Structure 1
Amino acid sequence: MVDPTPLYLSPEQRERLEQLADAVRLRVALYPSPKPPPVQRRSRQYPGGRPNPWLTARLRRPHQR
C-alpha cells in the first residue's frame, strides 16, 4: 500500500479545519439523519378490494414446456 502524502497546513488552516470538524460533530449530535420510510408492498388487489383479474389470471396460468 502506498503511504499517503503528508498534508501541510498553516496554523490558520488547521484551526479552521478543527472548527469545521467540531461544527459537523455538533450537527450530527443535534440533528440525527431521518429514518427512511418503510417499503410499501404492492397489493395484489384494486383499492376497492376486488382482485386484479389480469394478475390472478397470469399467476394461475400453467407453465408450458
Structure 2
Amino acid sequence: MDKDIAYFRLHGIGEGEVNYKYTGQDLQKLLEIVKEITKRSREAYAMFNNVYMVQDVQRFKELVKAVL
C-alpha cells in the first residue's frame, strides 16, 4: 500500500446511499478526516459517487480552499 496517497470513495450514507446528499456536517467531518490523514500521506483524493456528486464536490472543494 502506498502511504503517500489517500483515497476516499463516497457512495452516500444510509438506506438512500447513492441518492444521499451530503450535509454540511458530513463534509466538515470528511474534511477533518482528510486533514488528519494528510499528516501521514502526501496526497488525498475524494471521489463522490452519488446523485448529488457535482454539488457535493463543489461544496467540499470550497471547504478545502478555506483551510489552505
Is the structural similarity TM-score above 0.5? no
Q: Which has the higher strand share?
A: 2
Structure showing greater radius of gyration is 1
TM-score (norm 1): 0.30
More relative contact order in 1 or in 2 (CA 8 Å, sep 6+)? 2
